Amino acid sequence: MSGANRIPGAGRLTPAKTARFFFDGKSFAALEGDTVASVLLANGVHLVGRSFKYHRPRGIVSAGAEEPNALIGVERDAARKQPNVRATVQDVFDGMKVISQNRWPSLAFDVGAVNNLLAPFFAAGFYYKTFMWPKQAWKHVYEPQIRAAAGLGVSPTEDDTDHYSSRYAHCDVLVIGAGVAGLSAALAAAKTGARVIICDEQPEVGGALHYDKSVTIDGQDGYAWAQATAANLAKMDNVTVLPRTTAFGYYAQNFVGLNERVTEHLAKPDKKLPRERLWQVRAKRVIIATGAIERHMVFANNDRPGIMLASAARTFLNHFGVAVGKKVGVYTANDSAYEAAFDLKRAGITIAAIVDSREQPGEAVLAEARSLGIDVLAGHAVVDTGGKLRVSSMSVARNGGGGARKIAIDALLMSAGWTPSVHMFSQSRGKVAYDAETQRFLPGTYAQDCLSVGACNGTNDLQATIEESLAAGELMSNASGFTASQKLALQGANAFAWTGGMAGAAEGAGPDTTVKAFIDFQNDVCAKDIRLAVREGMHSIEHIKRFTTNGMATDQGKLSNIHGLAIAAETLGREIPKVGLTTFRAPYTPVTFGTLINHSRGELFDPTRKTPMHALEEAQGAVFEDVGQWKRAWYYPRAGEDMHQAVNRECKTVRDVAGIFDASTLGKIEVVGPDAAEFLNLIYTNSWDTLKPGRCRYGIMLREDGFVYDDGVVGRMAEDRFHVTTTTGGAARVMNHMEDYLQTEFPHLNVWLTSATEQWAVIAVQGPKAREIIEPLVEGIDLSNEAFPHMSVREGKVCGVPTRLFRMSFTGETGFEVNVPADFGPAVWAAISERTEALGGCAYGTEAMHILRAEKGYIIVGQDTDGTVTPDDASLGWAVGKKKADFVGIRGLRRPDLVADGRKQLVGLLTKDPAVVLEEGAQIVANPNQPLPMTMIGHVTSAYWSENCGRSIALALVAGGKAKIGQTLYVPMPDKTIAVEVSDMVFFDKEGGRING
Amino acid sequence: MADLATRTLPLSGFHGGSGAAALSVASPATRISLRAKPDAVAALSGVLGLSLPTKAKTSASSNGRYALWLGPDEWLVIDENEADLMAAVASGNVLHSATDISHRNTAIIVKGRGAAVAINGGCPQDLSLAAFPVGACSRTVLAKAEIVLLRTAEDTFRVECWRSFSPYVSTLLAEAAEDAGN
């Protein structure tokens, strides 16, 4: 037998299928289909946690997602631990470890419970009032203490070993909730042929049919009908049935997030299965069938373990076969709790009494209670409870006063009525409307294409729910163009129609009392806290909520919001709708980070882009660096070399012999059309109509504000075709920038842009022997200096495949950039590499490339410029066409502050001690002895050791820099101040003869 | 004279997926990005031997040649027989722009009853046959990568992406194909 409180013959679980799990180290036997809560209750365990603030002993309150108290940690192994799982929704699996939370050293004896005795000091708003001063104490005392005390559960510290999946889906009708309403709606929609997705947070469909055994649909047991209906729906091609799937967020345009828990209930999940699956559903129409949640009664000490919702007790009995007590009391303001008493009584449990706050309970339930011999105390209240770790008595008094009588119980069921679950409706930005007669907020004005049906729409009657839902299913399908061939009809019947319900504090917990009558169990908010908040001047429910933290726990006030509102309204002397209702926000119930993001871990976190030659470079020993999404060869260390030595060798080899470099990541844009030159005239500062086919030009591109945006070499392949290159990092945004201007400012031009970055593998060959290296590989191009001068481009063949061969240089050496269709890159790289090494050259990486270009004073946009640098600031004024009438940024360049004296200008810096290499980003001052804070006149943008110069070199942006050439400036560092001399930007081959070699 | 350079294909030898959605690499093809105004469509259609589609999300195909509508003046033309598409469109002698992107793109074929579900692992589009019938195409996203999607049969899609994104795209599709079988 799996627990002393199992009632033979009760419930729907199969006794033959068992599992074993551990709660705080103690072993329990469970049945397949049990939740942690149902097993604990089967074994008489009600105490499952401690409350957040007062550490009061707490038990299981509900049997569903609304559970505020029973938060547990679930462990599979060291890596797979999940805190704050609601015990009422966690299926038991064999071998699972469950740990209670927020207690030390143990659940039964918790040191933190001293807070309960100190409760008078922890009134609402306590934090705001107490930790005001001294100011220093915040940082060192209050905040660390509060942080240590705050939060529930313990996060796992190891990497999650599970995998997760994500899926987009579309449907005509999404049905949220699979109770009677949801299933009826889905059935009607499915029969029209519309694509239907129906999801439900529970392991099985059925909703309220889990507990309400009295329901029949077309004469069939309600729960059995639900299972059969779901099975039939699942067989239909146009229907997806998703149990264990919570619709947690309702976003714009019927975009709904679903969290499917695929393996959380399995002892040994198939490794292929994702732990959780995120569904992102775009639905043409949504039917919200989320039911209603029972409210608890607000009375003194209503939080002892063993006090729970009446519907929960019914679920535990009718679904799990578990009696929550042996002598059970009921405290209600509503008929529904009577049925819990009836079911328990019929199962042989003693019902101590039904205490009903109403003078006149519903006649039908009253009659049934009498016939079952249950004592009903109408017009009475439970004014207190007794018991330490579990409720042992209730004190009952006549409404309006009089002596209280103590009745011994071991469980107390309560119901203050039902709160329609308008969460999804509210998240869809629908406006709720208050129904004064039933004291409920119901869907009012719709903002999206959705419809609420059943209990969440305020429809109580079973048959009315069925008819409303069938109609909704058909109507919402019609909107997508599907119609039913025949009208569906279902006949539902149940035992009792319910009346009654109340919101706010019950008798004995009213305005003049100071008892602990909890409204928010998880955040320990009592009725008196709401009143205190009002007295202290909080008149909006939004303020009251934040002052008291009512409804701000992980259950987001599923039980407490309406009570809090009613108490606030009563205290303020206003109508409930005048006080307002707080907004419902996603997620409906907590969603793990795993669901949201773990499908994009590791390789799938972000694309890693590699050039066609990556594998060859790897084989050559390259160390790679990340440049945006790209992996670029950084340097190629040889045996025994560190980075510094490798880079020095590479730099030296390029200038002495030659080097080969992978430049494939540079952005390439093919600009084609009769107006291509005119377009480039407008995009770049230089002029392009004078550039002849076969020649190249370095171009500068500005933003509208006149600052440098990107640069690159552009080759004219034909009258109407340009091969534009951009920086690696700028490739995508430059393309967008150009396309933006083309479409919005220059739509009259006949020109088109195509990204060709990845069409070409680019192999730069640089150095005195560059020509000698490629010569035997090239066909159809005269490589001589005369026929093919610097800044030219030719088409021909290399290694027998087509090439666009550029004569250009980013090193100041004789240079070629061999462009071949990307698939040929590796073979051509191998051939050129072989030649290079045979002639004494080597492959070089991005670090050497950076140094070689700095030796020549070539800037890198984004490193030596920062978005506030004009062409003139960067000594690139020569690249601005003085005679041009228009280009992007021409007006910006004329702004007074862009032409003023004293702008920061790019210059070279030479440290007085040539061995000292500056730090990039270091600030520059004129006088190192000035008082702090010093006036900073610029900063270092690039700084390297130059093996070719035999000293350090640097580029810097310095205010009025060009006029300071020859002057001494200072770079203060934490440990020393470095003296530097301002120089021009060219450090090597100042005459520039080598490039034309 | 140097040896003729050989081709190294991205994703060379890649295959995988699941029983629900098998993945394979498409064979090499020639491709151009074709841009032209409406008045050139007829002439370009003529020299390409297919009718360039002018409606969003549609494509045309003929003997292993596909033209995919990507925008009002933009088509992706793919020739599985590796014909010289640049020469073909040039022969039309009408105003247009063509750029050879044969090596820029690569393609993965996703085939099986779960093909759409696998692609929906990263692509937010509605891939039902009603919304995305055979021949439908779209420049869209697969999680963080841009792709061009073409449905070549009820259970088969061609996923075109830039070559450097192909490891990401294939890894994502492999995971999603696995999940599509669950």
**Element at A893 (helix H, strand E):** none
Domain boundary among B73, B101, B129: B101
Residues B107 and B94 both lie in one domain: no
SS (H, E, C) A69-98: CCEEEEECCCCCEEEEEECCCCECCCCCEE
Quick one: average pLDDT of A537-542?
90
Residues B108 and B141 both lie in one domain: yes
If you count residue pairs, one on A and one on B, with CB atoms under 8 Å apart, how many are there? 147
To the nearest whole angstrom, how far is the Cα of B96 from the nearest Cα of chain A? Answer: 7
pLDDT value at residue A580: 83
Quick one: average pLDDT of A53-81?
91
CATH of the domain at A255: 3.50.50.60
Residues A470 and A528 both lie in one domain: no
Q: Positive or negative, the Cα torsion across A512, A516, A521, A526? A: positive
Tell me whether residue B92 is in a domain. Answer: yes
Q: Which chain A residues contact residue B85 at CB under 8 A? A: none
| B164 in A contact zone (CB under 8 Å) | yes
In this structure, are residues A798 and A744 in contact, taking their beta carbons and an 8 Å threshold?
Answer: no
ipTM over 0.90: yes
Structural domain count, chain B: 2
CB contact under 8 A, B121 and A167: yes
Residues B111 and B178 both lie in one domain: yes
CATH of the domain at B134: 3.30.1360.120
pLDDT confidence bin for A554, thresholds 50/70/90:
confident
The predicted-structure confidence for A209-243, as pLDDT tens digits, reads as follows: 999 999 999 999 999 999 999 999 999 999 999 99
CB contact under 8 A, B35 and A752: yes
The predicted-structure confidence for A619-678, as pLDDT tens digits, reads as follows: 999 999 999 999 999 999 999 999 999 999 999 999 999 999 999 999 999 999 999 999
Nearest alpha-carbon partner for A586 in A598, A578, A597, A596: A596
Q: Which two tokens stand for residue A658?
A: 């030659």
Q: Which chain B residues contact residue A195 at CB under 8 A? A: 128
Q: Which of A168, A608, A799 sits opposite B123 (nearest CB)?
A: A168
Task: Identify the residue with better confidence: A143 or A382.
Answer: A382
Domain boundary among B49, B68, B101: B101
Residues B75 and B134 both lie in one domain: no
List the beta bridge partners of residue B162.
B105
Residues B156 and B171 both lie in one domain: yes
Domain hosting A536: range is 510-581
CB contact under 8 A, A827 and B7: yes
Q: Which chain B residues contact residue A776 at CB under 8 A? A: 1-2
pLDDT value at residue A151: 58
CB contact under 8 A, A760 and B144: no
pLDDT at A147 over 60: no
CB contact under 8 A, A604 and B163: no
> Minimal Cα distance from B37: which residue of A?
A750
CATH of the domain at A561: 1.10.10.1100
In this structure, are residues A417 and A426 in contact, taking their beta carbons and an 8 Å threshold?
Answer: no
Q: Which of B5, B99, B103 sits opposite A828 (nearest CB)?
A: B5
List the beta bridge partners of residue A408.
A393
Domain boundary among A465, A493, A521: A493
Total Cβ atoms within 10 A of residue A934: 16
Torsion of CA A813, A717, B164, A836, to 10 degrees: -30
CB contact under 8 A, A751 and B97: yes
pLDDT value at residue B181: 86
Placement of tokens 């999206």 in the chain: A448
pLDDT value at residue A143: 58
Q: How far apart are CA A370 and CA A357, in angstroms?
A: 17
Residues A288 and A427 both lie in one domain: yes
In this structure, are residues A188 and A488 in contact, taking their beta carbons and an 8 Å threshold?
Answer: yes
Q: How far apart are CA A241 and CA A225, in angstroms?
A: 15
pLDDT at A302 over 60: yes
Global pTM value: 0.93
Quick one: average pLDDT of A343-368?
97
Residues B126 and B182 both lie in one domain: yes
Tell me whether residue A95 is in a domain. Answer: yes
Share of chain A above pLDDT 90, in %: 87
Residues A171 and A283 both lie in one domain: yes
pLDDT at A186 over 90: yes
CB contact under 8 A, A606 and B144: yes
Q: Is A509 helix (H, G, I), strand (E, B) or coil?
A: coil
The predicted-structure confidence for A123-136, as pLDDT tens digits, reads as follows: 666 555 555 556 66
CATH of the domain at A920: 2.40.30.110
Q: Which chain B residues contact residue A611 at CB under 8 A? A: 164
pLDDT value at residue A54: 85
CB contact under 8 A, B7 and A825: no
Q: How far apart are CA B10 and CA A298, in angstroms?
A: 67
Domain boundary among B81, B101, B121: B101
Q: Which chain A residues contact residue B6 at CB under 8 A? A: 824, 827
Report in angstroms the alpha-carbon separations of A105 from A23, A49, A50. 15, 12, 12
Quick one: average pLDDT of A322-346?
97
Residues A428 and A567 both lie in one domain: no
CB contact under 8 A, A752 and B176: no
Residues B162 and B143 both lie in one domain: yes
Structural domain count, chain A: 4
Tell me whether residue B122 is in a domain. Answer: yes
Domain boundary among A581, A597, A626: A581
The predicted-structure confidence for A756-809, as pLDDT tens digits, reads as follows: 999 999 999 999 999 999 999 999 999 999 999 999 999 999 999 999 999 999
Tell me whether residue A990 is in a domain. Answer: yes
Q: Is A199 helix (H, G, I), strand (E, B) or coil?
A: strand
Q: Which chain B residues contact residue A821 at CB under 8 A? A: 100, 102-103
Q: Is B33 helix (H, G, I), strand (E, B) or coil?
A: strand
Residues A29 and A119 both lie in one domain: yes
CATH of the domain at A115: 3.10.20.440
Tell me whether residue A317 is in a domain. Answer: no
Tell me whether residue A38 is in a domain. Answer: yes
In degrees and rounded to multiples of 5, residue A824 shows phi and psi of -85, -10
Share of chain A above pLDDT 70, in %: 95
DSSP letter string, A173-233: EEEE--SHHHHHHHHHHHHTT--EEEE-SSSSS-GGGGT-TT-EETTEEHHHHHHHHHHHH
CB contact under 8 A, B168 and A608: yes
Q: Which of B5, B10, B104 sits opposite A824 (nearest CB)?
A: B5
The predicted-structure confidence for B93-104, as pLDDT tens digits, reads as follows: 999 999 999 999
Residues A169 and A278 both lie in one domain: yes
Tell me whether residue B6 is in a domain. Answer: no
Residues B145 and B135 both lie in one domain: yes
Residues B96 and B34 both lie in one domain: yes
Q: Which residues have C-beta within 8 Å of that of residue A687, sequence separation ≥ 6? A: A681, A881, A883, A884
Residues B37 and B68 both lie in one domain: yes
> Minimal Cα distance from A616: which residue of B?
B8
The predicted-structure confidence for A453-476, as pLDDT tens digits, reads as follows: 999 999 999 999 999 999 999 999
pLDDT at A138 over 60: no
pLDDT at A116 over 80: no
pLDDT confidence bin for A425, thresholds 50/70/90:
very high
> Rounded mean pLDDT of chain A?
94
Domain hosting B144: range is 14-28+103-182
pLDDT confidence bin for B1, thresholds 50/70/90:
very low
To the nearest whole angstrom, how far is the Cα of A525 from the nearest Cα of chain B? Answer: 43
In this structure, are residues A943 and A980 in contact, taking their beta carbons and an 8 Å threshold?
Answer: no
Residues A444 and A548 both lie in one domain: no
The DSSP call for residue A609 is: B
In this structure, are residues A722 and A676 in contact, taking their beta carbons and an 8 Å threshold?
Answer: yes
Residues B110 and B182 both lie in one domain: yes
CB contact under 8 A, A674 and B73: no
| B77 in A contact zone (CB under 8 Å) | no
Q: Which residues have C-beta within 8 Å of that of residue A401, sequence separation ≥ 6? A: none
Q: Which of B2, B145, B165 sits opposite A799 (nearest CB)?
A: B2
Residues A101 and A207 both lie in one domain: no
Q: Which of A262, A752, A756 sits opposite B104 (nearest CB)?
A: A756
CB contact under 8 A, B120 and A169: yes
Domain boundary among A75, A95, A126: A126
pLDDT value at residue A652: 98
Residues B92 and B38 both lie in one domain: yes
Residues A486 and A514 both lie in one domain: no
pLDDT value at residue B61: 97
C-alpha B36: how far from chain center: 19
Residues A467 and A524 both lie in one domain: no
Residues A465 and A518 both lie in one domain: no
Tell me whether residue A546 is in a domain. Answer: yes
Tell me whether residue A724 is in a domain. Answer: no
To the nearest whole angstrom, how far is the Cα of B120 from the nearest Cα of chain A? Answer: 5
pLDDT confidence bin for A55, thresholds 50/70/90:
confident
CB contact under 8 A, B97 and A777: no
| B12 in A contact zone (CB under 8 Å) | no
| B91 in A contact zone (CB under 8 Å) | no
Tell me whether residue B4 is in a domain. Answer: no
Q: How crowded is the C-beta side of A222, counted as CA atoms within 13 Å?
A: 26
